A and B are shown apart, each in its own frame.
Chain A
Amino acid sequence: EDKVVQSPLSLVVHEGDTVTLNCSYEVTNFRSLLWYKQEKKAPTFLFMLTSSGIEKKSGRLSSILDKKELFSILNITATQTGDSAVYLCAVALWSGNTPLVFGKGTRLSVIA
């Protein structure tokens, strides 16, 4: 059975801290790994990672994939209260419709 495991499940940090969110996976026919940010409504796309060792960066967020060890990390530096959200990791599989398998998410709370 395909599965995606995220850790920690929840995290509370102070503004300015740096956080690292983890995502490991065991799937057949791995295609890519995606990170989403979910606030009160639907997830918004952050990154898609396909190749190992290539860091994707967007402002204070960055992510990297290790296809040998089957995991990815999402880093957020200088956290702000607006970063408070659930961060979802999903793996896309090679199949006709490319379904996504989601982890349970990491709930990040940034306090002032």
Chain B
Amino acid sequence: GAVVSQHPSRVICKSGTSVKIECRSLDFQATTMFWYRQFPKQSLMLMATSNEGSKATYEQGVEKDKFLINHASLTLSTLTVTSAHPEDSSFYICSATTGTGVETQYFGPGTRLLVL
């Protein structure tokens, strides 16, 4: 139980293009999903918290116009990196909880983004 998938697993794109990453909870409904970014040999840094049907809450320093988050259903959240640049290259991981306020998060397999 508590399986989270992400798609795509890996993406290479040119600078200036937009990239959409999907995060799905496969066997449970996730009212809350989180988006993290992880640079090499660094820990996970929370980018934003996404609640179904409402606007995402972004962490300080994360540009909401650059990282668009949509959580349209209880099983799907998307992160769109708009006008990607090489410095956006990173490992993006989503996680989901089984209920609002539940602390155990289940992580997706991650998406490795490389912007050329």
Binding site for B on A (CB under 8 A): 31-32, 34, 36, 41-45, 48, 88, 92, 96-100, 102-105, 107
Contact: B110 with A41, CB < 8 Å?
yes
Contact: B43 with A105, CB < 8 Å?
yes
Q: How far is the CB of A51 from chain B (nearest CB, A)?
A: 14
Choose, from B14-22, B62-70, B74-82, B94-102, the stretch at the interface: B94-102
Chain A CB within 8 A of B105 CB: yes
Contact: A45 with B106, CB < 8 Å?
yes
Contact: B103 with A43, CB < 8 Å?
no
Binding site for A on B (CB under 8 A): 6, 32, 34, 41-46, 49, 51, 57, 93, 95, 97, 100-110
Residue pairs across A and B with CB atoms within 8 Å: the count is 57
A contact face: mostly helix, strand, loop, or mixed: strand
Cβ 8 A contact of B49, one of A97, A102, A104, A105: A97
Given A42-B107, A42-B110, A48-B103; A100-B46 close (CB under 8 Å): yes
Contact: B101 with A98, CB < 8 Å?
yes
